[in-house]
Structures are given as C-alpha cells and as structure tokens.
C-alpha cells in the first residue's frame, strides 16, 4: 500500500515537471570509417588502442572473435605488453555490442612499440602453430565469465540488459554452444577476415614530448593530433 502511494506521488511530480515537448535523445551516429587520432594531455604514460570493425553478437563469427580475444591476450599480449613492455595492463577483446575487435594498453611506458605488438599478435595468430591447450584455456575463460556468480543486484542488472536488448535465454544458450564449438581453424579464419591492416582505427593518448619521436608514426598511420 505504501509503495503504491510512493509511486503515485512520484508520478505526479514527474508529470508536473515534464516539458510540453521532449527533447531529442542524445545519440551517437554509427561510424565504420577508419580513423586515427593522437590525443595530447598532461600524462607521464601512454594509452594505446586499435579497433577493427567486426560483427554483432548474433553473427556466426561472433563466438570465434570472442575466443580469439582470450587467445591473443593469454598467448601473446600479456607477455609482450605487460611483462616485457612494462604497461600496467593491456589485451584484446571482441565487443559485440559495437561490432568491433579492439586491442588496448593503459599506463604504458611505450607507444609505437605497443602498436607494433598489436600487429605482431595478429601475425602470431596466423603464422604460429598453436596447441589445442591454448584454445581450450580461452574457451574455458569465456564460459567461466558467462557462468560466474553475481550479486542479486548484478543479476537484476544483467536481466534488465538482456530484456532491453532482446537477448533471450535460447539465444544465450546458442551462443554458449557456439563458443564451445570454436576451433583453431575458426580463429585463423576470423583473424584473416576481420583483422586486416587497412581496416584498423588507431587512437593513442600521450603527452607533447612524444610529438617529435612519433612524427614518422603519425604520418604512417595518418594520426590527427588533438589537444585535451
């Protein structure tokens, strides 16, 4: 009874304050063009990112791209970017929400070398023989993240987002089966198909002292300099 009174009171307040005509909602336009940007700010470390256009969650290749992120992160990028490169963090992942596969590093003492490692990870995937163990570990990691327990609030939030974006239980189960069915050949195929150099967008955050050192890189990648 008290809940109904609260709802009624809140509805009356919101109705009274509502404008006669609602403003257009804020919306970013979809962008699939190649971009290159270098953002300058007051920072002692670098932040690097590279993204490739891929596919949404319902596409048959989405599962292989999700697993690919784990393979590249565990098999190559962790060692190259964190252990050898000294970055605080980095990796790769498929974001099916925006249909993009992205590489990233943060709090990174390197810049050009990290971007080279992103490219080297693609070459490693395509040209190096891989044991099934590498694939299995990545698949288990994806399934584990899907099945990990959550708080009641987390469960409610996840259920809300599933309903909001139309993700049904059957669709989630189908995606699980697609994850389990991913093969090493699938990983090579989606790498070859989607992670093509001419499709890559690159963005870095760094400081003014890097301008001279990155002149060649900025020309090669056609990076637009932006001030923060």
What is the mean pLDDT of each successive set of 10 residues along the chain, which is 228 residues long?
A: 71 62 60 88 96 95 98 97 96 95 98 97 97 96 86 81 77 93 98 97 95 91 91
Chain centre distance of CA 223: 21
Domain boundaries defined on the chain: 34-227
Q: State residue 98's pLDDT score.
A: 92
Model confidence pTM above 0.95: no
Other beta carbons within 10 Å of 90: 24
Contact 184, 139 (CB under 8 A): no
Q: State residue 29's pLDDT score.
A: 63
Q: State residue 22's pLDDT score.
A: 58
Contact 117, 48 (CB under 8 A): no
Q: State residue 82's pLDDT score.
A: 96
Distances from the Cα of 65 to the Cα of 57, 72, 163, 198, angstroms: 10, 10, 24, 18
Q: State residue 31's pLDDT score.
A: 65
Other beta carbons within 10 Å of 16: 7
Q: State residue 65's pLDDT score.
A: 98
Which CATH code is given to the segment(s) 34-227?
3.30.830.10
């Amino acid at each position: 009874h008290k809940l109904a009174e609260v709802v009624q009171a809140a509805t009356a307040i919101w109705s009274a304050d509502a404008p006669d005509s609602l403003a257009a909602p804020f919306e970013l336009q979809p962008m699939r063009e190649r971009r290159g940007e270098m953002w300058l700010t007051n920072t002692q470390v670098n932040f690097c990112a590279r993204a490739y256009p891929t596919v949404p969650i319902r596409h048959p290749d989405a599962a292989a791209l999700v697993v690919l992120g784990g393979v590249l992160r565990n098999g190559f990028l962790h060692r190259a970017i964190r252990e050898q490169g000294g970055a605080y963090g980095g990796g790769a992942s498929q974001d099916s929400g925006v249909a993009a596969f992205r590489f990233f590093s943060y709090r990174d003492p390197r810049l050009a070398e990290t971007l080279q490692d992103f490219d080297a990870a693609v070459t490693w995937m395509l040209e190096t023989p891989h044991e099934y163990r590498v694939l299995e570990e990545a698949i288990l990691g994806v399934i584990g993240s899907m099945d990990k327990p959550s708080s009641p609030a987390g469960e409610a939030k996840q259920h809300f987002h599933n309903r909001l974006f139309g993700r049904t239980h059957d669709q989630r189960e189908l995606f699980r089966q697609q994850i389990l069915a991913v093969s090493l050949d699938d990983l090579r195929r989606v790498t070859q198909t989607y992670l093509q150099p001419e499709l890559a967008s690159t963005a870095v955050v760094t400081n003014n002292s890097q301008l001279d050192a990155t002149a060649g890189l900025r020309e090669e990648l056609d990076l637009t300099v932006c001030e923060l």
